[in-house]
Chains A and B, each alone.
Chain A
Amino acid sequence: MKHFFQALSLPVKSRAYPFNAPDGKVANLFRPDRKFHRDEEESELVVRDLNVYIKEQHILKEINLAIPDKKITCIVGPSGCGKSTLLKTFNRLIDSVEGARVSGKVLLNGTDIVSSSGPEIIHLRREMGLISQKPCPLPMSIFDNIAYGCRIHGIRNRKKLRLVVRHYLEAAGLWEEVQDRLNTPAIRLSIGQQQRLCLARSLAVEPRFILADEATSALDPISSKTIEELFVKLKQNYSIVMVTHTLRQALRIADNVIFMYLGEVIESGPAERVFNRPEHKLTRKYLSGVFS
């Protein structure tokens, strides 16, 4: 992680935004409202009896989960089983799905996400950085895409924005490719580049949770590896929930695995156990590749 920040710590001498905490821990780039030692804060996500209906269709059924802090949790399961819907419930994006109804509880540090309202939701969405399945650059330049998150939260200082943009583009492994065309429209990037751009954009608002919905689906093996390595580094500071269809990927980086099937959580637990000694026969079938 450290080398990401070294480049940044040079030009900034100000004490207000220390990029490197004394012990080498990563500080927040622009959120002075947060302490930079985040170890004290355990932000566990607990899901209790969650049910989601979309237009009277039962999409998520009786979900009970605990997603630990500073770990990578992979959600696997066949297409259409409700993985994206689950992530959308976590950041309340489900609100914009027409006809969606949610019951049950999703507790973030004891606060219920499902029943929160008004400005709480805005705050919450910032904490739960969702990277959607389909990369979706905003209709503006590459620079503005990354800076957008900072701007909407009131950071306008050009110099600080430049640092943030560079930092997160580097983190997502995109800086080298785009550094000379930061002011060109982001839509011109390739799909894989767009995916990394969206990752960088989500990281730039400094969430606590990263909810990545197939964040590497359009990437070649090497870029995927870069992202995987990034996630492994990021888990010191963030909790990462990622949906993946690549079991190998889950095997490589997951601490915990959740297996879903037709809207239900069939099995969840430490990756090592789920992969090596699956308890449920559906899990065994899935892992052996009976259904993709």
Chain B
Amino acid sequence: MMTIRVLKDKTAGGIMFFLTLSSMLLVVIMGIGLFLKSAPVFEEHSLGELLFSSSWKPMRGEFGFLPFIMGTIWVTVIAVVMAVPVSLLTAIYLTEYARPVVRKYVFPALDILAGLPSVIYGVWGTLLIVPFISGWLAPRFVDFSTGYTMLAGGIVLGVMILPLLVSLFIELITSVPEELREASISLGATRWQTTKAVVVRAVLPGLVAAVVLAVSRALGETIAVLMVCGNLPEIPGSLFDACYPIPALIANNYGEMLSLPLYEAALMFAALILFIVVLLFNLVSRVVLYRIEKTFS
């Protein structure tokens, strides 16, 4: 009996270790694969040229990725800057202020929003946000804009990650023990003071982790952004210029024009950049998280 139990335990442990290892290996293999596939483009161009040149002329063999890198970063930044405060306040309202009835109806709605396929957000952006920008918002700031802009991409992306963020935040905030709130309230704190100084502070590491998750999602989002942001390979000069994030570049062009020399390798390089950006971002946020946890617990 004893030996069988021990054996089972060991096998289970072994299998789980193997599965964990292979999923980690998968990441490494993907990285190596992308690198090998994009190698030809390195042979012709230096890394500096690829990353910092803004001239994208595949026909002439010029592959400058700067516009795409900037497009990706900007769209993500706009989305996160808009979505984080809104979703944090929404989550706080729902958990700390709203009556249970409100929660009962809003929570399922959030789940539905979080589950909608991204193409629907794209359509919604094309039908609503793009005309809004071209017809109303942009004329107040610039002479002309098609509406298919970096701003539209940011807004659509922000709206997309909003439900995800709200649910994650709600999960975190409801995990704060009631006693903590009571302790603060007993000292004569208002609810807002309690929320700000106690509740949010208690879950700060979690909040950061949630934002990291949302950013990773935003960095890789393809379809919805591709539909609204114009897709011009130029460095965007303002919110009302078109931009061309990396995922959109790959999705739009892969499978076409592959007869051009080096074009496939260049697209693979784009994928590699995205891969590394997401990886680096996650690593950096781990460090940040570790720092925060160290100071708070």
Contacts and interface: CB of A to CB of B under 8 A. Distances in A.
Contacts of A149: 187-188
A201 B193 CA distance: 16
Contacts of B179: 132, 134, 136
Interface stretch (B12-20, B161-169, B195-203): B195-203
A192 to B, nearest CB: 17
Contacts of B177: 136
B141 interface: no
B187 A139 contact: no
Contacts of A262: none
Contact of A148 (B181, B197, B202, B295): B197
B202 A139 contact: yes
B195 to A, nearest CB: 12
B180 interface: yes
B189, B190, B202, most chain A CB atoms within 10 A: B189
B98 interface: no
A132 B188 contact: no
Interface residues of B, number: 22
B183 A125 contact: no
B108 to A, nearest CB: 21
A91 interface: yes
A96 B177 CA distance: 13
A198 B201 CA distance: 18
A201 B183 CA distance: 10
Tell me the dominant secondary structure on chain B's binding face: helix
Contacts of B182: 93, 96, 132, 136
Contacts, number: 73
Given A132-B183, A136-B183, A153 B296 contact: no
A92 to B, nearest CB: 9
A148 B184 contact: yes
Nearest to B194: A152
B180 A123 contact: no
Contacts of A138: 180, 183-184, 197-198, 201
B186 interface: yes
Interface of A: 91, 93, 96, 122-123, 125-126, 129-130, 132, 134, 136, 138-140, 148-149, 151-153, 185, 187-188, 198, 201-202, 205
Given A185-B296, A188-B297, 17 more contacts: A93-B185, A96-B178, A96-B182, A123-B188, A125-B187, A126-B187, A136-B177, A136-B182, A139-B201, A148-B189, A152-B184, A152-B187, A152-B193, A153-B188, A198-B183, A201-B183, A205-B188
Interface of B: 177-190, 193, 197-198, 201-202, 295-297
29 contacts: A93-B186, A96-B178, A122-B188, A122-B189, A122-B190, A125-B186, A125-B187, A125-B188, A129-B187, A130-B186, A132-B179, A132-B182, A132-B186, A136-B180, A136-B182, A138-B180, A138-B183, A139-B201, A140-B197, A148-B184, A148-B189, A148-B197, A149-B187, A152-B188, A152-B190, A153-B188, A185-B297, A201-B183, A205-B188
